[in-house]
Structure 1
Amino acid sequence: MTLSGKRAVITGSNSGIGLGVAEALAAAGAEVVLNSFTDRPEDHDMARDLGARHGVVARYIAADMSKGAECRALIEKAGGCDILVNNAGIQFVSPVEDFPVEKWDAILAINLSSAFHTTAAALPGMKAKGWGRIVNVASAHGLTASPFKSAYVAAKHGVLGLTKTVALEVAGQGITCNAICPGYVLTPLVEAQIPDQMKAHKMDRETVIREVMLDRQPSRQFATVEQIGGTAVYLCSSSADQVTGTSISVDGGWTAL
């Protein structure tokens, strides 16, 4: 499987799932464009290091995914893309009646509207080439709900609706649009939460992971960023030419319950 000659833009990709997807696409031969809202020397160094490891061109382009104009400018600055991975996302937890309006607006903008803007900017180039892959990183929360996560759940359900709509609009044009729905993934952000959970529940590491953090994930195992990256590579491959408008759950059985 090779993605040589393809350019991939991955939003929210200087850590966690996004970086894992970028690594997997680069390993498959794709040119990659990393993104986040910061513009630090270490961001650009990360891209150069990734490219050097895999022998591909890799760049970093700063863009704030809460701003539609910057989302669209990201695609333009990248020179268009063959593969678009909409991964940027944030979370906030609160009862609906106490949910800060500014947090609601930010989550909807970054988790949902950014995917609309980048997709709208990328599609003309994909149509001109007669080939394209759009992969939206949704969530198990795009298929089910949890209390106190109203904005996140609403946004991720919206991502699945957008995925289906785009897939229907471009069907038969060599372009596919799909979503990946991870459960809990062991990222640096999640790893940092484990000590606090151990202290709060007075449990050892393995018990707090199994009984608290992965309570809703029947496998009682985290998904890995490598597994999410591998799923993205599959969706970009010729094996998935007829896979479009759907979601793939990587959630240890969470949504099978």
Structure 2
Amino acid sequence: MTLSGKTAIITGSNSGIGLGVAEELARAGADIILNSFTDRDEDHALAARLGAAHGVRARYIAADMADGAACRRLIDTAGRCDILVNNAGIQHVAGIDEFPVEKWDAVLAINLSSVFHTTAAALPMMRAAGWGRVINIASAHGLTASPYKSAYVAAKHGVVGLSKVTALETAQEPITCNAICPGYVLTPLVEAQIPDQMKKHGMDRETVIREVMLERQPSRQFATTGQIGGTVVFLCSPAADQITGTTISIDGGWTAL
């Protein structure tokens, strides 16, 4: 399968899951738009390296996903969007009665409202092209809950619901929309937390990963960004033409409990 001739926009993609998704889409031949809220030389250099490595066009476009108008400008500036991967997200942990209002607003804006704005801007482009894929990176927390993560859980449940609505509104068109729900993923951010967890619990690396960090993930293994990227590529394939309005869990059995 090749995605040559397709353009993919991946929000929040200068590191972690988003970058892993961009890598796999580029490997499959898609032209890539990387995004984050920064606008540094290294962001543009990252896009250039990704494009050169896979022989595709790759650009970096800065846009603040907390700003609805900026979300829509990202799509307009790209000029084309065959594949939209809504990945940008932030987290804040606190009890409901102590949760800062500004943090609630930011989590909902970046994790949920941005998905609405980018999708609204991208659908006309997909309809004009006669093909499209909207793939929303939700979370296991889009299907279940944990204490002290009220904004994140609410937003990710919202992403799952919005994915279903998008799928229904495009059901008779060659456009699909699905949500991927990862569990714990080994990203650079998570990797950086491991030494602190080892020190805090007095455990070796393998034990702290299995017994502390992956306590809720029955496989006791992290998902990888490449696995998530590979699932995105599959959802862009002809084999997935009739997969729409659903969730795909990549969580080592977490939501089977």
TM over 0.5: yes
Q: How far apart are residue 216 of structure 1 and its match?
A: 0.3
In 1, Cα distance between equivalents of 2:196 and 2:139 = 24
**RMSD between aligned alpha carbons?**
0.4
Alignment of 1:1-257 (within 5 A): 1-257=1-257
Q: How far apart are residue 80 of structure 1 and its match?
A: 2.3
Post-superposition CA distance 1:48-88 (Å, at most 9, x none)? 00000000000000000000000000000000200000000
Q: Which secondary structure state, in structure 1, belongs to the residue aligned with residue 252 of structure 2?
A: coil
Read off the aligned partner of 1:81 and give its amino acid letter: C
Give the paired residue count: 257
Q: Which secondary structure state, in structure 2, belongs to the residue aligned with residue 33 of structure 1?
A: strand
Q: Which secondary structure state, in structure 2, belongs to the residue aligned with residue 167 of structure 1?
A: helix
In 2, Cα distance between equivalents of 1:127 and 1:201 = 53
TM-score (norm 2): 0.99
Deviates more, 1:121-130 or 1:100-109: 121-130
TM-score (norm 1): 0.99
In 2, Cα distance between equivalents of 1:53 and 1:127 = 31
Q: Which secondary structure state, in structure 2, belongs to the residue aligned with residue 119 of structure 1?
A: helix
In 1, Cα distance between equivalents of 2:199 and 2:90 = 25
Which residues of structure 1 form unaligned runs of 5+? Answer: none
In 2, Cα distance between equivalents of 1:129 and 1:181 = 28
In 1, Cα distance between equivalents of 2:247 and 2:2 = 23
